[in-house]
Amino acid sequence: MKRIFIIFTSIFILILAGCSEEEVTPHERLDDYFKLWEEQNFTQMYEMLTEESKEAYPTDQYIDRYEKIYSDLDITEVQLSYEKLSEEQIETALEEGIATLPFVGNMMTMAGPIEFNYEVTLKQIGEEEEKNWFLEWDPGFIFPEIKDGGEIRISVTEPRRGDILDRNRLPLALNGTVLEVGVVPGKLGDNPEASKEELAMLLNISVESIDKALSASWVKPDLFVPVGKQIPESNQELLDQLWQVEGVMTQKTTGRIYPLGEAAAHLVGYVGKITAEELEGQDSTRYTANDTIGKTGLERFFESELKGEKGIKIYTTKEGNDDITLAEKPVQNGKSIQTTIDINIQEKIYNSLENAPGTAAAIHPKTGETLALVSSPSFDPNKMVYGISQTEWDALQNNPDQPLFNRFSATYAPGSVIKPITAAIGLNNGTITPEEELEITGLSWGKGESWGNYEVTRVSEANPVNLMTAMTLSDNIYFAKKTVDMGGVAFTTGLQQFGLGEELPLEVPIATSSISSTGDLNDEVLLANTSYGQGEIEVSALHLASMYSAILNNGVMYKPVILLENELSQVWKEELVTTEQAGILQETLRNVVTNGTASYAKNSSFPISGKTGTAELKLTLDEEDGEQNGWFVGYPTNEQDIIIAMMMEKVQDIGASGLVVQKVTEVLEEIKK
């Protein structure tokens, strides 16, 4: 009896073991295939095809084609689903060795999502333990539209780059007509090589690049072949020379144009062909190796808005059939940006500098609008886009006046134009009272050995000296004495309240104005020198103009703005002076013109107020003579609708700050005509 029980138990275990070795279902096999598909593992997917499918579609028509199409279309987020068979259908499939299941494919492409419906047929192949399910495959699995042949195509519509406009919608940068230079091979004349050499010389390109363009498979003797250079219509001299070369022709096309040329080159910037390094950091759906990109200035800072989005269409094409669109993303042209810049003011200020090294910023003090940002000398941005010769480039690079350097984005020692700010700080913290008179004799003052016998000097002798006298005569000693009395901590705090040491809240990067190399004024000599704009203090022209606006706005300094769409008159700093103190400072600035160092401005047909400054660029305190930068910050006394802060370099032998007063006065006169 016991033996019978053991035999029965053994048979039962064998039966259970047999039941546990269930056949692989079509669902399990399809799940494995779809998982590999979603991972884009086309090599392992290929191993799951029937031998008939592999014979019909070798690896180049399956693995290679899948990989190329998925790469070209930038396919991601592949998701596959299918409707499962019923238990009865599974039993039938297992009996017949074939199963057909409808499925849905979803994926994201460079042109947007694609969804398609198809069906998969699996065949059970093999004997006993080797038995498994394999897929019958055809190109419809890639996209149903190419099941019976056809090709996948991509068409790209380039977006129109947005314009850069001034406050009156006049163009600072726009898409204008330029001329594409090319060659008609059959018209190169009796000496084609000489014609190509002359063309290469005029365009500053190589003969090899011309030959490469002419060797393209589509080229025919009577066809126009572009050589990769465009010329603005305004460059008539070069065009006349090109048209004299046999076989050379031009065709109109669209290109970037900068109407103000040198006058706004550093501000507006220019575009150029994207480099490999630049391409690495960009969205691959927006940029290719053939794209242009903003290189400098507003073109670079607002590249994302100006660029726009390419229109992309993915479609299938087959001879004798209409094209079928699989996915399409419409083109989005770049957004034009309207700035607060006034072309009229920008150009007049630039022209006034007459290519001398210098910079200027103009703002509307009541709104914070940036009206002009000027750097001189400059360069022609149109040449940067359409080809600058090596000779011209070398000349720019080697010019000691550095025309490629953007001066309005830099900071400089302000000299005496900082004195109104020093006065504002002193008035606000109670260190300076307008009526107080200091006894100052002689042209120098110091603290003897405790200062290493260093002395502060002044140009004009006056005694006693109050705030009005000190501002009018630009008395260094008065401001040094009052600031030393104030102390380094209080003066540093005051300068910080005016935004020094803090980034300007502006979309265009401007170097941060600084108080000193350490940020403090613990050394008394440094403190004294800083009070009148020497020492280590440095400010940008735009920041300086903004600081003066607080004097015109009863202690409020508005955020500088360069996009007209932004909110105007946004408070950046406030309570810098009281209304009464602002009035006192305005009186002193008018007196600087009527009785002081800015006397040239009296020639204006309307009242002008402002402050002059001369910053000596000495390497050491002991150095007697150094180069001088001249400053003037001026505004119409009554209207107070513009402040111009201008600096000119190396003015020690050409009129010092008086020359700058003349420039600003003449610009204001022209603007107010």
Per-residue pLDDT at 315? 96
Q: Quote the pLDDT of residue 37.
A: 98
| More reliable by pLDDT, 343 or 672 | 343
Mean pLDDT of 356-373: 98
What does the pLDDT read at residue 17? 39
Contact (CB, 8 A) for 644 and 634 = yes
Q: Which stretch of DSSP H or E encloses residue 57?
A: none
What is the reported pLDDT for 389?
Answer: 77
Q: What is the mean pLDDT of residues 19-28?
A: 72
pLDDT in tens, 209-232: 999 999 888 999 999 999 888 888
What DSSP designation does 80 have? E
**pLDDT at position 19, please?**
36
What is the pLDDT at residue 228?
Answer: 82
Average pLDDT over residues 333-356: 98
pLDDT at 617: 83
Locate 666 and state its tokens: 């003449």
Contacts of range 298-303, beta carbons closer than 8 Å, 24 or more positions apart: 298/164, 298/172, 298/173, 298/267, 298/268, 298/269, 298/337, 298/339, 298/508, 299/164, 299/173, 299/268, 299/269, 299/270, 299/271, 300/269, 301/269, 301/507, 301/508, 301/509, 302/164, 302/337, 302/507
The answer, yes or no, to whether residue 258 has pLDDT greater than 60, is yes
Tokens representing residue 5 in the block: 């029980």
* Cα 150 to Cα 520: distance, rounded to the nearest angstrom: 73
Query: What average pLDDT does this structure show over 592-608?
Result: 96
263 or 177, which is more confident: 263
pLDDT at residue 16 greater than cutoff 60: no
For the cut 80, the answer to whether the pLDDT of residue 5 exceeds it is: no
The label of the residue with tokens 């720019």 reads 396
Q: What mean pLDDT do residues 6-24 have? A: 45
Of 23 and 159, the structure prediction assigns the larger pLDDT to: 159
Active site residues: 416
pLDDT of residue 624: 59
pLDDT at 233: 84
pLDDT attached to residue 327: 96
The strand ranges marked E within 289-436 are 292-294, 311-317, 324-329, 337-338, 358-363, 370-376
Q: What are the pLDDT digits (tens) for 108-121?
A: 999 999 999 999 99
Q: How far is CA 293 from CA 262, 270, 289, 426, 483, in A?
A: 20, 9, 10, 48, 49
Q: What is the pLDDT of residue 388?
A: 80
pLDDT band at 23 (very low <50, low <70, confident <90, very high): confident
Interhelix angle for 488-497 vs 419-429, to 10°?
110
Strand intervals (E) in 531-607: 557-558, 571-573
Question: What percentage of residues in the chain have a pLDDT greater than 90?
Answer: 83
The percentage of residues in the chain with a pLDDT greater than 70, rounded to a whole number, is 96
Instruction: Identify the helix (H) or strand (E) that includes residue 22.
Output: none
What pLDDT is recorded for position 168?
97
Mean pLDDT of 524-541: 97
Weakest mean pLDDT among 12-16, 27-31, 51-55, 194-198: 12-16
pLDDT of the residue at 75: 96
Query: How far is it, in rounded angstroms, from Cα 448 to Cα 411?
Result: 32
Per-residue pLDDT band for 183 (boundaries 50, 70, 90) equals very high
What span, in angstroms and rounded, lies between the C-alpha atoms of 451 and 447?
6
Residue 15's pLDDT is 39
pLDDT of 38 strictly over 70: yes
Q: Positive or negative, the Cα torsion across 521, 522, 525, 527?
A: positive
Average predicted confidence (pLDDT) for the chain: 92
φ and ψ at 462, to 5 degrees? -150, 145
pLDDT at position 59 is: 96
Predicted confidence at residue 6, as pLDDT, reads: 42
Alpha carbon of 85 to those of 19, 98, 119, 426: distances in Å? 21, 12, 13, 88
Q: What is the pLDDT of residue 619?
A: 56
Res. 625 pLDDT band, cuts 50 70 90: low
Q: Which of 46-50, 221-225, 361-365, 491-495 has the lowest mean pLDDT?
A: 221-225
At residue 512 the predicted structure's pLDDT band, cuts being 50, 70 and 90, is very high
Instruction: Please check the confidence at residue 8 and state whether its pLDDT lies above 50.
Output: no
HSE, side-chain direction, 13 A CA sphere, residue 116: 18
DSSP state of 487: -
* Cβ atoms of residues 110 and 69 within 8 Å: no
Domains and CATH numbers, the chain: 22-146 (3.10.450.100), 164-338 (3.30.1390.30), 346-671 (3.40.710.10)
